[in-house]
Structure 1
Amino acid sequence: MPDVELHREPEGLTLVGDGMSLRGDFTRLLPRLKPGTVQRELLVKAAKVKGVDAPVAVDATAGLGEDSLLLAAAGFTVYMYERDEVIFALLEDALDRAAQVPQLADIVRRMHLTQGDSVQALAHLDFLPDVVVLDPMFPMRQKSAVSKKKMQLFQMLEAPCTDEEALLQAAIDANPRKIVVKRPPKGPYLAGRKPSHSVAGKAVRFDVISLPRM
């Protein structure tokens, strides 16, 4: 077990280790959630499904849930899966606190969290998602040394994906309209699968794999 601990602090459940602390905090994303603003988010542009008024997404690698929050703010119902029990606890606590914030309450009601391995979970969904989002924790270059250390703290618990083929195939088998894969700007394609197109910025790239609905 990594040399980290969970502390119950006044601000919320906190992961502490190596002189750093990490806590889920959705309130810091409030400026990005305003109508009109959230629609300009790269992830939202990549995940948008034409002709679907109430889209459903699966975030198969939820982490601290920030991508799911952006999608929920854009009108998606999001089902999140997180396999690591500590990260799951951090995310669950962040959702509970966000539900008490008036600007976030309606958004987090569209976010549904389950602990479990997403490869297995995707095989047993009782619905057809419009979008499956994958963030396989490919190591990303950070502008800030502090941000880099926090990412290292996070990865003490959850290492980058080691079986990209299984993760991508599970997403394909869930029969979504599209798969959106989060990548570093110059990172390789997930499992070598060339996307239909990409939506890229300076810090991140979203590869979109469009699929025929079977």
Structure 2
Amino acid sequence: MHDCLPTPPAGLELMRRPEGLTLVGEGMELRADFSELLPRLREGALARELLVRAARIKGMPRDGSLTVLDATAGLGEDSLLLAAAGFTVELYELDKVIAALLCDALERARAVPELEPIVARMRVTQGDSLVALRERAEAGNAPDVVYLDPMFPERRKRAAVKKKFQLLHNLEHPCGNEAELIEAALGAGPRKIVVKRPIKGPVLAGVKPSYAILGKAVRYDVIVPPRS
């Protein structure tokens, strides 16, 4: 696994360790580990997750027959929640280093009995989600939900960001094509688009949501496109 690891920016190093692929630098370490989310995957806790409430489609089965396209996957924690809720999730991550950490986490999760059936519904692609969304639009192959959690400059200023995740700021970049992103998401024809935003942040690309689900620090703007 990971026979050819991507090269991170100067000052950072990807290291194979017994506990998993690890990004090291600036006196910190970052490793994706889905086992840490197990308490949030329990039935009662999962039903209270704001993201799950935002993405859920009325009367949806939990057999993986409905799909989410996560256009900004990161380390996949949100996608894990959606997969646990019964969606099949297609994860797109543009950065090669983040994608490598994510794939390593998925491989390790397959060996955990409680996680194996969940991550079986998660598929990772290292690449540009804009391309994937446009290809789906051309093919008429709409996902049921498109999930967007773009990196924005204000997130860099939040003191509450966990220290280990500060390493991701060397890899992620604030979204500079938000209009393209929302346009491509709408063009793909999903039943809904869910956008994660800071609680007081502006709507994405000026597109007013159909409704929003509010938490203490974040909100989920839900766009329900008109059905033809």
Question: For this structure pair, what is the TM-score category when the shorter chain's length is used for normalisation?
Answer: over 0.9
Q: Which residue of 2 aligns with 1:58?
A: 69
Aligned 1:1-214 pairs, distance under 5 A:
1-53=9-61, 54-125=65-136, 127-138=141-152, 139-140=154-155, 141-143=158-160, 147=162, 149-214=163-228
Q: Give the structure-1-normalised TM-score.
A: 0.94
Structure 1: which 5+ runs fail to align?
A: none
Structure 2: which 5+ runs fail to align?
A: 1-8
- C-alpha separation between the residues in 2 aligned to 1:74 and 1:213? 24
CA offset digits 1:152-195 (Å, max 9, x no partner): 31021111211100111111111001100011111111111111
CA offset digits 1:54-73 (Å, max 9, x no partner): 32100000000000000000
Ranges of 4+ aligned residues in structure 1 off by more than 3 Å: none
- C-alpha separation between the residues in 2 aligned to 1:164 and 1:2? 28
- 1:108 maps to amino acid: V
Count of matched residue pairs: 211
Q: Give the structure-2-normalised TM-score.
A: 0.89
**What SS does the corresponding residue of 2:222 show, helix, strand or coil?**
strand
Deviation for aligned residue 1:74:
0.4
- C-alpha separation between the residues in 1 aligned to 2:46 and 2:59? 19
**What SS does the corresponding residue of 1:207 show, helix, strand or coil?**
strand
- C-alpha separation between the residues in 2 aligned to 1:103 and 1:172? 35
Residues 142 and 56 from structure 1, CA distance in 2 versus in 1: closer, same or farther, beyond 3 angstroms?
farther
Identity of aligned residues (%): 62
Aligned-pair RMSD on alpha carbons?
1.3
**What SS does the corresponding residue of 2:132 show, helix, strand or coil?**
helix
Deviation for aligned residue 1:204:
1.3
